[in-house]
Amino acid sequence: MVRYPEEERQSLANLENLLIRTPSGAEVPFLSIADFTLGNSYSSINRQDGRRIITVRGDVDRTAVAPDEIRRDVIRKFQSKWQRELDVELVVGGESERQAESFGDLLSTFPIAMMVIFALLAIPLKSYFQPLIIMSVIPFGAIGAIFGHFIMGADLVFFSVLGIIALSGVVVNASLVLVVSVNRLREEGMGMVDSVSTAGALRFRPIFLTSLTTFIGLVPLMITANPATFFVVPMAISLAWGVLFATVITLFLVPCLYLILHDFAGHTDSDEERAKAYEHTPKALVEN
């Protein structure tokens, strides 16, 4: 950039007194050979990777509209049009850009978390298949979270995904309690079908009440309209409805999968085991 010293470009009078050197070497006033008009221009020109950029910023009233909805509308209305007609590339940044980066990190670390949960379950249970039965309720928790957004009339946003990921470590509690109860009854000599049905009956109340109290505890956060906590509402919806839905599925899915696993393993209860099971049934009911 070539320009005059700052003291010689303080006002329009400096422009009027500007001398232009001609090819012959003479100097003539600027106004004698040119006209100028006043107008508006950019206060600064910003570049990124050698290309000129213009940044448009704005704050979103989350009580009126979700940021994801604005981003979708802007991309749909202007991105292809500006690229085609003006040769201008539209890039959406800010919160959406940071969320995209965070979402990529979550996708890479979520499988690691699942493997850690699997290892923590497999070691005490001494089985590679029972942890899979316990973790089978995780996808149903995600379905419940999505269904909860539909019931509450909320959009599925980035914080909803965070809630679903956090939900993965919560919904396994009920199925873990159920599987451990079945294993304990089996160790006491009860038959497979009787162990599963008895464990389901004994653990129904604590499992259901635990999930219900969790849901009720999250209700005040789900229905709040305070802008200060508005961004965590989708996370609360994912946790509350995911836990509730997964609990109902757990009471039916886990016993069925446990019996299926037993059948695939080729185990059958002998007459002696069945007799022993009925003998131990009153004892098991009293102890629990």
pTM: 0.62
- Domain coordinates of the chain in residue numbers? 100-287
Q: How many residues does the chain have?
A: 288
The C-alpha angle with vertex 52 and arms to 46 and 54, in degrees rounded to 5, equals 65
Residue 70's nearest CA partner among 84, 83, 56 is 56
52-111: pLDDT as tens digits: 888 777 777 766 776 777 777 888 888 888 878 888 888 777 666 676 677 777 778 888
Please tell me the distance from the alpha carbon of residue 125 to that of residue 200, in angstroms, as a whole number: 18
Looking at residue 223, the DSSP 8-state letter turns out to be T
**Architecture of the CATH domain 100-287:** Up-down Bundle (1.20)
Burial state string for 189-201 with b = 16 or more CB within 10 A and e = fewer than 16: bbbbebbbbbbbe
160-194: pLDDT as tens digits: 888 888 888 888 888 888 888 888 888 888 888 88
Burial state string for 174-186 with b = 16 or more CB within 10 A and e = fewer than 16: bbbbbbbbbbebb
